[in-house]
Structure 1
Amino acid sequence: MKTKITLLLAFFFIGLNFGFAQQDEECMTKLSIFHEYTKAKNYDAAYEPWMAVRNKCPKFNNAIYVDGEKILEHKIDNATGTEKVAYINDLLKLWEQRGEHFASKTPKGEYAAQAAQLMYDNRKELGKTDDELYASFDSAYQVDKESFSNPKSLYTYFSLMVDLYDAGKKPAADLFNKYDDVVEKVEDEVKSFSEKLNKLIAKEDSGTDLTKKEGKYKKYYESYLKAYDQISGSIDGKLGDRANCQNLIPLYKKDFDANRNNAIWLQRAAGKMSEKDCTDDPLFFDLVNAYHNLSPSANSAYYLGLLKDKEGKTSEAIAFFEQAIGLETDNFKKSKLYYRIATKLKARGSYGKARNYYTQALKLNPSNGRPHIAIAAMYAKSANNCGDSNFDKRAVYWLAAAEARKAAQKDPTLSKAAAQSVANYNAKAPSKAEIFSSGRAGQTISIGCWIGRSVTVPSI
């Protein structure tokens, strides 16, 4: 019997790739017991053997900390009052112990942010102030920005900054700097997940099925992109009107002389004024030119293009926009530039040129479905001008629906919006009765004007 148990435990550790620092039979036995209970989600039964191994053999295996987190989270969820506080503090201690005994498996920023989030979520029970909580998040961010990437924690971090600003405890400069910090971090994460997702999309587009593992990774990447998309809107919503021209312009004017040789400051200031449409103020001209003279880049060229666009010098604006694209070496950022320029052209009614830029944006970042939505909107807007008959004009809506459908297929963040667009366009296209009476089911309609595409009349 003893031999069977020993063999069972041996297979258990080999199967889970367990390595251990201490050869302690009691710890080995109890670890297998609490791990099995944890897998069965019987956390109360797992607690006692888990604590025994944790206390006696803290360096025995990382499973102590992986399973221990689940056990303590269960205890926290089912406790109240002082007992709940005790479990919260013990989970915070557990993460510290994990970092001490398994540092290579415990990214500092990730776990420090996790600890800060736990304290924030239980701030009433722990009696934590906004100042204390912000300090915890800021410490996590400063110690290891790379692994501080949880979407919820990034939002909480910025939200606390806004609350402290509103309470008069943080100046506007700190608020806007922290906004830029968090937004840039979110963009870095979106870029990383988008690039990974794009590889899988390219494989699917080539006609090759994803493996089971790749399918799981695709869902994982899509779930994180959805989360970052949600917090991006929440971050902007939380900032609200605090970053309006009335606040930004005096602040940047005051700090301009001290930062005229600070490329990062100039880029952020010009970017914020562009984002908030404060480009009519002469300060924007000074910021952009100082930035371009100090550090010519894709961003500075783009901002110069905005200035020319404001002056009504369209050809010069386009030249600067093209220069911005030429200077950008990062495909993700270049895709964003194409998209921004296309959106400018779309607003001006230059639909053909806009589509060209949107198409380039899609080539560089196919998992961003927004260009598809924009192209579909331009098709729909042009329906009344692109066809000889009423039927042909309304057939353009099928083309718009097909384009919007692509957004849902490629971009997990747009599934709902794309579905609404598809339904809207299909409702405006010829009905089944009209298709029947026209006798054109299955025919191909060539759409003229700037669109230059064709669409097949659906069969009924």
Structure 2
Amino acid sequence: MKTKLFILTAILFGSGVMQAQNAECATKAALAYDDAKANRYDQAYQPLMEVKEKCPTYSLATFQYLDRILKYKLENAQGAEKNKLIEENIQLMNDRLKHFPDKTNAADIQGEVAWLKYENGIGTKEEQFKAFDDAFKASPESFTSPKRIYAYFSLLVDLQDEGKKSLNDVFGLYDDVITKIEDEENKLAQMLAPLLEKQEAGTALTAQEKKLVENSEINLNAYSQVKGSVNGKLGQRADCENLVPLYNKDFAANKGDINWLKIASERLSAKDCTDDPIFIKVSEALHKAEPSAKSALYLGQLAEAAGKSSEAMKYYNESAQLETNPNDKSRAYMKIADNYRKGGNFGQARTFYRRSLDAKPSNGRAYLHIANMIAQSANNCGQTTFEKRAVYWLAANYAAKAGSVDPSISGVANESVAAYRGRAPQKSDIFQEGMQGKTISVGCWIGESVKVPAL
């Protein structure tokens, strides 16, 4: 009986202590939250750290405000103080994941911890790379930060330079990160396309739509820059001078390995090492072992290099029909479209450039080629001089789209826009003809309409 009474007393005492502690945390948290909201970070810091330690499950807001405070304090910290704050930040993120797993994205936490270690030089390069590698493999869909993507790849290249990773490791990750970047670009371009069309039609965008366009263009520019940085970091490692000897050396031992043949042919193709005999051997071996969209594409490249245009087109069409990867399907359609364009069949070329864009909305070069074909046809696709010159407005619209969805070619696109608009009717021409605001139907293969700008 005494034992039961003791246990009951202990429970009641413990419950009372817990209630008192919770009440103390609630009071302290309320005051600290107010300080944090008012940016009085120095006053809020210590009370919030105490709430986190004593009542970690009290509220997610404790972790959110502390995260903001620690980032603020890190901006001005140096030396030992900075290292202490970094460790606190890492611990804070791990504690949040522990106590609020349903309200915390584990992959985001892994990525943020990896970035903190990298940015502040914590641990060895191997440890920093592993942190990024774990985050990427845990949730590739959440690994969207351009700066983290570059850091991840850059670390691996550095490790390869130090002899701690192989060139094949670098190529493998390069394929992964470029695919990731292009996937993100495509999502943004797909979201942007209808808004650009709305603008072209002269319809005003809502404030929310304008913000969406602005953010999409900022993010597309960021991905374009990181793609350039990744390619710059890869540098000469992926040039034909390195790839050809590498695959020549390994061909005999791997000619029956389908995965090896796929990787080798893809890299040789991507870097235009298609004139070397090793590309022929690899492509033919791959198509014999496993006919596929990729092997058909490579045989098309070989046929085209040999001047066999009709045979090349047969293989490119086969590749496009078999391909399931959107970026690679777009690439095959571009090959077909380029052949039609070079042959002067602009209507067919545009059809396949559009198919390429359907597969990869961020393919600005397709828009640029369409713009160029329209501009070349200006003199043949209108009745009057004004109508013929109006075709350049349509060309300028396509060139503008090219720069919007693919910032890496924005320089060329902007130059094209300026050149086309310079050839289009000017304000005096529009006024003289009384055409302001009217819509002109463009004939011949183009078959589109363009709106004359208002004065």
The one of 181, 184, 188 equivalent to 2:179 is 184
RMSD: 4.0
C-alpha deviation, 1:307, in angstroms = 1.9
Residue in structure 2 matched with residue 307 of structure 1 by the alignment: 302
1:164-220 Cα shifts (integer Å, max 9, x gaps): 334444332222222112222323444555566678889999999999888877766
CA contact (8 A) 2:217 2:404 kept: no
Amino acid corresponding to residue 224 of structure 2 in structure 1: D
CA contact (8 A) 2:283 2:298 kept: yes
Name the CA distance, whole Å, in 1 between partners of 2:337 and 2:365. 11
The one of 21, 24, 47 equivalent to 2:22 is 24
Name the CA distance, whole Å, in 1 between partners of 2:406 and 2:273. 31
Residue in structure 2 matched with residue 15 of structure 1 by the alignment: none
Alignment of 1:255-266 (within 5 A): 255-266=250-261
C-alpha deviation, 1:322, in angstroms = 1.7
Over 3 Å counting, the alpha-carbon distance change for 1:86 and 1:214 in structure 2 is: same
Alignment of 1:35-434 (within 5 A): 35-123=33-121, 126=122, 128-193=123-188, 223-329=218-324, 334-343=329-338, 345-346=340-341, 350-364=345-359, 366=361, 368-383=363-378, 394-407=389-402, 418-433=413-428
Residue in structure 2 matched with residue 10 of structure 1 by the alignment: none
Over 3 Å counting, the alpha-carbon distance change for 1:447 and 1:336 in structure 2 is: same
Name the CA distance, whole Å, in 2 between partners of 1:66 and 1:294. 55
C-alpha deviation, 1:73, in angstroms = 0.8
CA contact (8 A) 2:356 2:366 kept: yes
1:302-351 Cα shifts (integer Å, max 9, x gaps): 22222222222222222222222222345565445434532454456543
Q: Which runs of 5+ in 2 are unaligned?
A: 1-19
Name the CA distance, whole Å, in 2 between partners of 1:334 and 1:33. 58
C-alpha deviation, 1:129, in angstroms = 4.5
CA contact (8 A) 1:113 1:140 kept: yes
C-alpha deviation, 1:53, in angstroms = 1.1
Over 3 Å counting, the alpha-carbon distance change for 1:295 and 1:45 in structure 2 is: farther
Amino acid corresponding to residue 26 of structure 1 in structure 2: E
1:210-266 Cα shifts (integer Å, max 9, x gaps): 998888777666554443232112211222222110100111222334444544443
Secondary structure (helix, strand or coil) at the match of 2:39 reads coil
Higher mean C-alpha displacement, 269-278 vs 133-142:
133-142
C-alpha deviation, 1:45, in angstroms = 2.4
Amino acid corresponding to residue 274 of structure 1 in structure 2: S
Over 3 Å counting, the alpha-carbon distance change for 1:352 and 1:195 in structure 2 is: closer
Provide the identity percentage.
45
Name the CA distance, whole Å, in 2 between partners of 1:253 and 1:27. 69
CA contact (8 A) 1:173 1:251 kept: no
1:100-155 Cα shifts (integer Å, max 9, x gaps): 333344444432232221122222xx5x5434433432343345444333221111
CA contact (8 A) 1:201 1:410 kept: no
Name the CA distance, whole Å, in 2 between partners of 1:82 and 1:107. 30
Name the CA distance, whole Å, in 2 between partners of 1:97 and 1:342. 55
CA radius of gyration, larger in = 2
C-alpha deviation, 1:79, in angstroms = 1.4
Name the CA distance, whole Å, in 1 between partners of 2:439 and 2:69. 62
Name the CA distance, whole Å, in 1 between partners of 2:260 and 2:142. 24
Name the CA distance, whole Å, in 1 between partners of 2:222 and 2:365. 17
Amino acid corresponding to residue 85 of structure 1 in structure 2: N
Amino acid corresponding to residue 378 of structure 1 in structure 2: M
Secondary structure (helix, strand or coil) at the match of 1:149 reads coil
Residue in structure 2 matched with residue 16 of structure 1 by the alignment: none
Secondary structure (helix, strand or coil) at the match of 1:170 reads coil
Name the CA distance, whole Å, in 2 between partners of 1:260 and 1:196. 43
Amino acid corresponding to residue 352 of structure 1 in structure 2: G
Higher mean C-alpha displacement, 129-138 vs 83-92:
129-138
Q: Which runs of 5+ in 1 are unaligned?
A: 1-21
Over 3 Å counting, the alpha-carbon distance change for 1:187 and 1:447 in structure 2 is: closer
C-alpha deviation, 1:93, in angstroms = 1.9
Amino acid corresponding to residue 347 of structure 2 in structure 1: G
Name the CA distance, whole Å, in 2 between partners of 1:242 and 1:348. 35
C-alpha deviation, 1:38, in angstroms = 3.2
C-alpha deviation, 1:55, in angstroms = 0.9
CA contact (8 A) 2:294 2:319 kept: yes
TM-score, structure 2 as length reference: 0.79
Over 3 Å counting, the alpha-carbon distance change for 1:395 and 1:223 in structure 2 is: closer
Over 3 Å counting, the alpha-carbon distance change for 1:180 and 1:402 in structure 2 is: closer
Name the CA distance, whole Å, in 1 between partners of 2:197 and 2:381. 33
Name the CA distance, whole Å, in 2 between partners of 1:294 and 1:208. 54
Amino acid corresponding to residue 179 of structure 1 in structure 2: Y
C-alpha deviation, 1:82, in angstroms = 1.2
TM-score, structure 1 as length reference: 0.78
